[in-house]
């Protein structure tokens, strides 16, 4: 291979890429072990020992055994993040219930006798403040 420096560069880049890919998978598995709520502490410790002492075998076995639930946890986390983001956007944009809607609810509660006139006035002042 000494006669082909471009081929050496290609192999070096391939090895570098595979190492990065390996570390990404290793960190993904380790974070999933700690994120998993359906596993006991002893189960987590066992997986960590296996992943640390026999990294290649441990990661491959983990992905085979728990890969499906690993994907489900990722999907659930993405959904929670999306819901939190949407909630924040709605709150920041002020598209929640309007003051008029809240006042209408308060008026309805007052007319049903749930709120007294004094309670209605206090809630109204608080809402408009």
For the residues 83-107, what does the mean pLDDT come to? 79
What's the pLDDT at 41?
92
Query: In angstroms, how far is CA 41 from the centroid of its own chain?
Result: 21
Q: What is the pLDDT of residues 68-92, one digit of tens each?
A: 999 999 999 999 999 999 888 877 7
What's the pLDDT at 112?
83
% of the chain residues with pLDDT over 70:
95
What's the pLDDT at 90?
79
Q: Pick the residue with more confidence: 33 or 102? A: 33
Residue 22 confidence class, pLDDT cut points 50, 70, 90: very high
Residue 14 confidence class, pLDDT cut points 50, 70, 90: very high
Mean pLDDT of the chain: 87
Would you state the structure tokens that stand for residue 80, as one six-digit string? Answer: 């929670």
Residue 98 predicted with pLDDT over 90: no
Residue 10 predicted with pLDDT over 60: yes
Residue 42 predicted with pLDDT over 70: yes
């Amino acid at each position: 291979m000494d006669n082909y420096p471009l081929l050496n560069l290609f192999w070096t880049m391939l090895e570098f890429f595979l190492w990065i890919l390996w570390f990404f998978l290793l960190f993904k598995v380790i974070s999933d072990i700690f994120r998993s709520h359906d596993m006991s502490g002893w189960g987590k410790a066992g997986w960590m020992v296996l992943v640390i002492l026999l990294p290649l075998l441990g990661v491959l076995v983990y992905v085979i055994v728990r890969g499906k639930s690993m994907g489900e946890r990722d999907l659930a986390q993405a959904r929670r993040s999306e819901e939190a983001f949407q909630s924040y956007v709605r709150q920041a944009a002020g598209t929640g219930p309007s003051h008029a809607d809240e006042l209408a609810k308060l008026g309805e509660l007052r007319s049903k006798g749930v709120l007294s006139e004094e309670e209605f006035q206090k809630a109204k002042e608080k809402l408009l403040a």
